[in-house]
Chain A
Amino acid sequence: MESLLVRYRNITLLLLVVFAQVILLAIQVKNKSDVRMIRVWSVTAVTPIAQAVEGSRSAVTTFFGNYVSLKDVREEGRRMRVEIDTLKLENQELKSELAMSDRAKALSLFEARTPSRMLAARIIGNLNGATNKVAFVDRGSNAGVQKGMAVVTADGIAGKVLESYPTASQILMVDDPGFAAGVISQKNRVRGILMGVGHGKCKVEFVQNEEKVEVGEVFYTSGDDRVFPKGMPAAKVTAVSPGTTDKQIAADPLGLQNGAEEVLIVVQGVHQEIPEMAAPSPAVYIGPDAPADKTAPSTLDSKQPLLTDADRLREKYREVGEAQNHKFGEGTPGSTPPNFNLPVRPAVPKPDAATEPPKPEPAKPVIPKPIR
């Protein structure tokens, strides 16, 4: 037996190692858990080197970029000195526009504009296969990044945090087949699920054939998934075709359209309204809104007929409050409420000053009836 084991030592070891990995896989799949320790080891081994390499590359690129920019600015300045003031001004505007087009600035502008609290991060590596699209950013749990946080760019959503490690975080990109986000279309308010299909493409699932979706329409996040705040641009529809029960909708993710070197991690999301569509044809004249009819009764007008008991009760409470100078909703807990038992003088309609002079009427004393 011993000689048999020695003879087949290698193949036995192979079977044991493969079997151990199958067991590991089975545990992960069954419990839907993760072997975090191995991931932490790998990430800790690779990300510091990747950060150093990326830092060196950025420094070299920035140095040469600055050198070239400086040289350009100097030459431009020489030219500008001989040009007229108008051209100087134009040049300044162009430069300002160029600076504005810089991705980092656009990102920071977006960050300042959006009400959500965000954290800027740089992508330091990715591991894209035929099926999976994940990336690593240089911000981890030490910077407050948590698993499940949304990742966006100035153009739209880019992914979500798959795992957070001390020095880096793993991002599941929006085009990964495992990615899903609740979305709603801008024009027809059709709800669906945005899912990645790989190769920089997405699809919108669970939209019934009866619902209307057009090519070119933009889907925004609906906020239903509790990952992405409502109102962020998600994807633009590129093709729509009817399916068996649901539409087949292909879409381009908006967050990746200009690449994603710098991203923003949504630390604290704030829902926003989905913007309305712009006017479809600017060539057609559309007049201003008609002025409001002042004679028409408002729905909030208290002079409306009291139709229900609730209306009558509300009206009574309002009168009680007015009679005692009490404003409902302003008192602190424990403060004295208005006395609802005091009689309220019925409201006398004011006469029209233009047509009828005021006639003072003597107040009639109220004589209570004796109780028998």
Chain B
Amino acid sequence: MSYSMDDRVLLDTERESRISHFRAWVLILIPLLALLFQFYVPLLIPVLRFLEIPLLITIYFGMMRRSQVGGLFTGMVLGLAVDSLSGNPIGMVGICRTLVGYFSASIALRIDVEHPVIRLFVCFLFFLFDQFMYWVLRRALLELNVPFDVNQALLLGALNAVVGVALFHFLDRLKSRV
């Protein structure tokens, strides 16, 4: 897949956006594997603890399916699962990921998200949004006075965005041809 600098980024109408379809097993197995990765891999390779694969999967399915409702529910299910495995009060990550899923689908209706550079920016921005929302919820709902580490968020956002682009490239191969 090659892109030139004069590729069009903004879409004129919603109809112009191409909705990707996935088989049911992809929609079930990939989120499950993402959870398993988040749960198990840092145990073996602690360096990979920075990766937020469930977040990247939420962004991907939201963008590719271009369905706000679909993105919303994907984000909610993955977020609640992460909450329940992490010992957080249930709903903390769930709310953040619900919003990420919804907004990623909304962006995909306006922007050509097949472009790797766009994907890089989208991943980066949604990572920051997710971290910021999580921080806000912790302060507002749980009254936890924790600082927001901007430098760390920017660095982790960039790393996750790079991994996200590669991951999305792989996931594109799992699209079903309609």
A residues within 8 Å of B by Cβ? 10, 13-14, 17-18, 21-22, 24-26, 28-29, 34-35, 38-39, 41-43, 45-46, 49-50, 53-54, 57, 123-132, 134-136, 162-163, 170, 172, 178
Contact = CB atoms under 8 A, between A and B. Distances in A.
Contacts of A42: 35, 80-81, 84-85
Contacts of B102: 10, 14
Given A54-B40, A125-B39, A29 B87 contact: no
A278 to B, nearest CB: 34
Given A22-B95, A46-B35, A170 B90 contact: no
Among all A-B residue pairs, the 3 with the closest Cβ atoms: A42-B84, A21-B91, A25-B91
A130 B155 CA distance: 13
A39 B72 contact: no
B38 interface: yes
B141 interface: yes
B106 to A, nearest CB: 8
A127 B72 contact: no
Contact of B72 (A17, A28, A54, A130): A17
Given A17-B76, A43-B84, A127-B87, 11 more contacts: A14-B68, A14-B99, A24-B91, A25-B137, A38-B80, A42-B85, A45-B32, A46-B81, A49-B32, A50-B40, A128-B42
Given A46-B35, A132-B87, A25 B141 contact: yes
Chain B binding surface SS class: helix
B98 interface: yes
Interface in B94-110: 94-95, 98-99, 102
Contacts of B68: 10, 14
Given A42-B85, A126-B39, A35 B90 contact: yes
A123 B39 CA distance: 11
A124 B141 CA distance: 31
A44 B151 CA distance: 36
Contacts of B72: 10, 13-14, 17
